[in-house]
């Protein structure tokens, strides 16, 4: 089976009702990004960050995967599909995708502030945390999110997947945030690369990328209709 590697961003979840970050009306217009999503912001005002991610979780549990997530799962019948996502939502998993690598963390998880490897999954009836939340060892927790100014621990794994791709598809990202935005440059020369986004970011000249200026749901339908095994 050909390896189909997907790199998704906020745009794939837009049709599920989750705001993107940098579109008009996006999250970073409403919230100061360095206060709610940076390492310094967490040190300065952790209560605000807990509140911000509590709100994101409460919204997420009301949302459902859309056809873009579901169609990528359907493609597993014909391809070895690997999803690398910048998204912190769990909509790829809820659509059934078997191989999902989160670059920027996972909204429904928290981890111990003392032991980074102690990661806990929240449930829809217990999704709020605060500076007073303690884990089973009595240690405080933080959102399992990669904040700005922090390393991206899964990036090396993601570059390996990009190098192994037979087909590479970027969906719904403004390609603003590094290192995630650089993934498409790790593919082997000659690998077909597609970029699905209704308002695609400019791609440097000389890079062979097929731009599909469409919504994620339409773009995934295009992949289902046009990709050859
Ligand atoms: P952005 O908000 O920067 O970009 C969203 C992209 O989705 C834009 O290019 C839109 O044109 C596109 N888009 C909008 N609606 C769409 C639709 N229906 N179908 C397909 N595409 C659509 O989001 P990201 O590039 O994902 O990180 O942002 C990257 C990172 O910045 C996020 O992971 C987050 C943020 O700060 C952290 O918080 C660590």
- Residue 64 confidence (pLDDT): 98
Whether 197 is in the pocket of ligand 1, judged by its Cβ within 6 Å, is yes
Q: Going by CA atoms, what residue is nearest to atom 29 of ligand 1?
A: 177
Q: Which two tokens stand for residue 182?
A: 């650089």
The minimum-distance atom of ligand 1 relative to the CA of 37 is: 38
Asked if 147 contacts 39 with a C-beta cutoff of 8 angstroms, the reply is yes
Q: How confident is the model at residue 207 (pLDDT cuts 50, 70, 90)?
A: confident
Within 10 A of 87 (CB to CB), how many other CB atoms are there? 26
- Residue 122 confidence (pLDDT): 97
Q: Which two tokens stand for residue 135?
A: 């884990």
Q: Please indicate whether residue 207 or residue 22 has the higher confidence score (pLDDT).
A: 22
Q: What is the DSSP string of 129-176?
A: --TT-B-TTS-BEEEEE--BTS--TTHHHHHHHHHH-SEEEEES--S-
Asked if 227 contacts 210 with a C-beta cutoff of 8 angstroms, the reply is no
Cα 87 to averaged position of ligand 1 atoms, centre (Å)? 9
Q: How confident is the model at residue 206 (pLDDT cuts 50, 70, 90)?
A: confident
Lowest mean pLDDT among 23-37, 63-77, 90-104: 23-37
The minimum-distance atom of ligand 1 relative to the CA of 217 is: 19
- Residue 149 confidence (pLDDT): 96
Q: Going by CA atoms, what residue is nearest to atom 11 of ligand 1?
A: 199
Mean pLDDT (whole number) for 75-100? 98
- Residue 146 confidence (pLDDT): 98
- Residue 119 confidence (pLDDT): 98
Q: 175: left (phi > 0), else alpha (psi -120 to 50), else beta?
A: left
Task: Name the residues annotated as catalytic.
Answer: 104
Q: Please indicate whether residue 203 or residue 159 has the higher confidence score (pLDDT).
A: 159
Q: What is the DSSP letter of 201?
A: P
**Is residue 14's pLDDT more than 80?**
yes
Q: Where are the alpha helices (DSSP H) in the chain?
A: 11-14, 27-30, 33-36, 39-44, 46-60, 67-74, 91-95, 155-164, 216-226
Contacts of 212 (CB under 8 A, 6+ apart): 194, 195, 196, 197, 219, 222
The per-residue pLDDT for range 113-167, each reduced to its tens digit, is 999 999 999 999 999 999 999 999 999 999 999 999 999 999 999 999 999 999 9
**Is residue 205's pLDDT more than 90?**
no
Whether 111 is in the pocket of ligand 1, judged by its Cβ within 6 Å, is no
Q: How far is CA 207 from the centre of its chain?
A: 23
User: Could you give the percent of the chain with pLDDT greater than 70?
Assistant: 100
User: Could you give the percent of the chain with pLDDT greater than 90?
Assistant: 97
The minimum-distance atom of ligand 1 relative to the CA of 9 is: 26
Average pLDDT value for the chain: 96
What element of type H or E holds 3?
strand 3-8
Whether 21 is in the pocket of ligand 1, judged by its Cβ within 6 Å, is yes
Asked if 77 contacts 68 with a C-beta cutoff of 8 angstroms, the reply is no
Q: How confident is the model at residue 204 (pLDDT cuts 50, 70, 90)?
A: confident
Whether 215 is in the pocket of ligand 1, judged by its Cβ within 6 Å, is yes
- Residue 114 confidence (pLDDT): 97
């Amino acid at each position: 089976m050909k390896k189909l590697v997907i790199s998704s961003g906020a745009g794939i979840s837009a049709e599920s009702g989750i705001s993107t970050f940098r579109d008009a009306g996006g999250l970073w217009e409403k919230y100061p990004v360095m206060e709610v999503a940076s390492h310094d912001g967490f040190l300065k005002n952790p209560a605000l960050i807990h509140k911000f991610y509590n709100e994101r979780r409460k919204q997420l549990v009301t949302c459902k995967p859309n056809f873009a997530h579901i169609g990528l799962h359907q493609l597993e019948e014909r391809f070895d599909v690997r999803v690398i996502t910048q998204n912190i939502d769990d909509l790829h998993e809820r659509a059934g995708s078997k191989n999902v690598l989160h670059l920027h963390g996972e909204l429904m998880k928290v981890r111990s502030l003392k032991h980074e490897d102690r990661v806990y999954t929240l449930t829809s009836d217990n999704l709020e945390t605060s500076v007073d939340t303690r884990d089973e060892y009595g240690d405080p927790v933080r959102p399992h999110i990669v904040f700005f100014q922090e390393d991206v621990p899964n990036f090396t794994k993601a570059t390996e997947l990009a190098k192994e791709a037979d087909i590479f598809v970027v969906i719904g990202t403004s390609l603003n945030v590094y290192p995630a935005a650089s993934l498409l440059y790790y593919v082997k020369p000659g690998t077909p690369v597609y970029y699905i986004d209704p308002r695609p970011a400019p791609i440097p000249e000389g890079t062979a990328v097929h731009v599909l200026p469409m919504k994620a749901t339409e773009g995934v339908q295009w992949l289902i209709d046009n990709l050859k095994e």
